[in-house]
């Protein structure tokens, strides 16, 4: 894992314009910005033809709160954290990690996906 230190300048948790429940954290790296998140936090029920809640979405939100060391989504804004990447090229953010002297921990998308979607 490669890391990049940044400050979370904005957060979003809500329904985007295509009707998908999602969340994101926007990092400011001092001259560039990049968002982490954008995953669908619920699923589409083919029989009912509507979006329905999914425990994986709740878990995703809880994992981010724990990694950031906060109890409220709004308290994430302003946190300084590491954005984690698979390569030195700084492509897509694959996780987040708290500073060693701060409350919080690490959250990796790959671990969350294995826990919830390993059979797919």
N- to C-terminal Cα distance for the chain?
25
**Mean pLDDT throughout 36-54?**
83
pLDDT at 46: 81
Q: What CATH number has the domain bearing residue 32?
A: 2.40.50
User: What pTM was computed for the model?
Assistant: 0.90
What is the band of 119 on the pLDDT scale with cuts at 50, 70, 90? low
How many domains does the chain divide into?
1
Nearest to 8 by CA among 111, 99, 113: 99
Position 120 pLDDT exceeds 60: no
Domain of 8, in residue numbers: 2-117
Q: Please give the mean pLDDT across all residues of the chain.
A: 92
In degrees rounded to 5, what are phi and psi of residue 47? -70, -45
List 97's β-bridge partners, or say none. Answer: 82, 106
Distance in angstroms (rounded) separating the CA atoms of residues 83 and 34: 9
Cα 113 from chain centroid (whole Å): 12
């Amino acid at each position: 894992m490669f890391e990049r230190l940044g400050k979370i300048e904005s957060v979003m948790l809500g329904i985007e314009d295509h009707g998908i429940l999602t969340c994101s954290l926007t990092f400011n790296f001092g001259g560039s910005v990049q968002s982490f998140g954008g995953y669908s936090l619920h699923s589409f029920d083919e029989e009912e033809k509507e979006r329905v809640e999914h425990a994986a979405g709740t878990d995703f939100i809880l994992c981010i709160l724990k990694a950031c060391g906060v109890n409220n989504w709004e308290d994430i804004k302003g946190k300084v954290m590491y954005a984690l990447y698979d390569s030195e090229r700084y492509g897509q953010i694959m996780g987040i990690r708290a500073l060693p002297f701060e409350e919080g921990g690490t959250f990796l998308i790959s671990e969350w996906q294995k826990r919830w979607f390993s059979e797919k």
